[in-house]
A and B are shown apart, each in its own frame.
Chain A
Amino acid sequence: MTEEQIALNHPMDAYLREDRIPHIWCSGCGLGTCLNTFLHALVKSKIDMKKTSIVSGIGCTGRVAGYVKLDSFHTTHGRPIPFATGLKLANPKLKVIVFSGDGDLISIGGNHFIHAARRNVDLTVICVNNFTYGMTGGQGGPTTPITARSATTPFGNFEFPFNLAYLAAGSGAVYVARWTMLDVRRLENSILHALNKKGFTFVEIISPCPTLYGRMNKLGNGLKMIKDYQKNTIINHKVDLKDAALGMDGKIVVGNFVDIQRPTFTEVLYDHIAKPQPNKKEDIPKEERKKIEHHA
């Protein structure tokens, strides 16, 4: 038996830093499934792994960067998107993927998120939404649904949460999808599509945090939580995103919501640079020059 045990090799082991497995995620946590599904999609996409880079921030989901055997960066809290943008601009040939949680990307990094979507920076952003800050102890965040209990809202949350898919679409993302981590095949296809598409592509994964969010809201263990997903999920690709907000008891609307084309930030930037710029004094029209000199 021991011999057989040693010989066992999971098909994804080639893309994992095996010395760090088993990972730190709790039993029943959905994050491992998210990573597993993502790796399946990445392998299927046939993207050159040597030219792929994964950027994560801080948090339970942020650990992903440490587990994948690719060039990966574990950045400061909330800053994976600026880091990834820099990476992409410095080397446009790289495939840059941001894999982080809701607490990291949307609260502390919220501004970076909307502006990267607005500029259509060529990134694939995978955001695992478990409605709470996991690593720091289950505090409420900008995705915590109304009435949900958390470490900082022991009597129930009273703030309105973000609807991430709506936010991403409104900010200009060219691809927006949402699935629960249980929809492994559909999620895999969505990530695959996002990886192969140019521009700011966004995939939101609803995932259970049984240890904190689940325990504080009496939602049961991980298995019970994902069985509830199974019951409450509605697939609707054409939904009006403002009606696809997530509440405590309501349905979870999932699907591939947005799929459009727009020039990416790298394209417009390099276009702009290629144009002759009036940077010499003589190139600037006389009147303009006067104005500038007057101000200086």
Chain B
Amino acid sequence: MTKCWRKPLDTAVTEAPRGKIHIIKERCKGCSFCVEFCPKKVLELSSHYNAKGYNLPEVKNPEACIACDLCTIICPDFAIYCEVEKKKPTTGKKLKQTKKNVRS
């Protein structure tokens, strides 16, 4: 599924953006859409419950998040969102462009 046709030519000079995941626990209804469809398998269903008894997701693998925002948009309950981590651009222009392309 995740196989690429070819290695992108600019992998050496670009860096994928990183994201920080926030979960608004009291809104979550434990549907696990976010867990299932995250392309980087960042999330997992935890053994914690919120006040309404829904099984909450948790961040298992924070380094892997590429700030694709899929969890933000797929969550039916507006309970999870990704914040792009602001890092110093280490590789100048190219990095900035990539960030822009991904987010817009």
Contacts and interface: CB of A to CB of B under 8 A. Distances in A.
21 contacts: A5-B26, A10-B24, A10-B81, A12-B78, A22-B29, A22-B77, A22-B79, A23-B77, A27-B29, A27-B30, A27-B54, A28-B29, A28-B31, A30-B76, A33-B74, A33-B75, A36-B78, A182-B37, A223-B32, A223-B33, A227-B36
Interface of B: 22, 24-27, 29-33, 36-37, 54, 70, 72-79, 81
A40 B77 CA distance: 14
Nearest to A34: B76
A189 to B, nearest CB: 12
7 nearest A-B pairs in the assembled complex, by CB-CB distance: A32-B76, A27-B29, A10-B78, A28-B31, A33-B76, A184-B73, A8-B24
Contacts of A188: 73
A32 B75 contact: yes
A33 B80 CA distance: 12
A25 interface: yes
Nearest to B27: A22
A32 B30 contact: no
A64 interface: no
A223 B31 contact: yes
A226 B33 CA distance: 9
Nearest to A11: B81
A74 B77 CA distance: 21
Given A188-B73, A222-B31, A5 B24 contact: yes
Contacts of A222: 31, 33
A229 to B, nearest CB: 11
Contacts of B30: 27
A222 B74 CA distance: 13
Interface string A155-185: 0000000000000000000000000001011
Interface string A13-46: 1001000011101111111110111001000000
